Amino acid sequence: MSNVSKRTIAGMVTGVMVYAAYIFYALGAYAEKMVEIKDFCITLLIFIGAGIVVMVLVQIAFYIALAIGTAVKNPERSEKYIERLVESEASEDEMDKLIQWKAERKGYIFAGLGILSLLISLALGASLFFSLHLLFALIGVGGLVEGGVMIYHYERGVRNG
């Protein structure tokens, strides 16, 4: 499995953990304390911000682990050589951009479906609480689909479609 696939899986697992933490927090014991929609929106924003910070920290930890793993696998190589190997892993080429484009295209479908479902659920009389969480869930599913598409293309190759 490629390092990009491993990094993507780490990001997907982190995203699922942040979503799970939000669900346990917002729908668990603290749900009774948040009576207004404003409280839920603030909580959503806090978890989105925390998720971004955690995601950045996980990616930094991944690159540190990659550098250490590369150094351990190549003990006879110079420090400059190992730095170049790690930098080459971090750089993007045209294939990386194409895979990212294909994955984002699939992920944005779910973001669009989330917005559409928000509007439809509100038009049908659903609560704003339910509609916002439906949007949040579909955006999360879109992120997972995006990660899955990236892993698929990195492991199976880029084809049309």
Residue 157 scores a pLDDT above 60: yes
Considering the chain, what percentage of its residues have pLDDT values greater than 90?
Answer: 26
pLDDT value at residue 16: 92
Average pLDDT over residues 100-128: 91
Calpha distance 61→52 (Å, rounded): 14
* Closest residue by Cα to residue 106 from 159, 158, 142: 142
Torsion of CA 115, 119, 121, 122, to 10 degrees: 140
Question: What is the average pLDDT score of the chain?
Answer: 84
Quote the radius of gyration of the chain (alpha carbons, Å). 20
- Which of 101 and 29 is assigned the larger pLDDT? 101
User: SS3 helix, strand, coil % of the chain, rounded to 5?
Assistant: 85, 0, 15
Instruction: Rounding to the nearest 10 degrees, give the CA dihedral for residues 115, 118, 122, 127.
Output: -150
Answer whether 82's CB lies under 8 Å from 67's CB: yes
**Hey, what are 6's tokens?**
């491993």
The per-residue pLDDT for 49 is 93
What confidence tens digit (pLDDT) does each residue in 28-80 have? 766 666 677 787 788 888 988 999 999 999 988 888 887 787 778 777 777 77
Q: What 3-state class would DSSP assign to 22?
A: helix
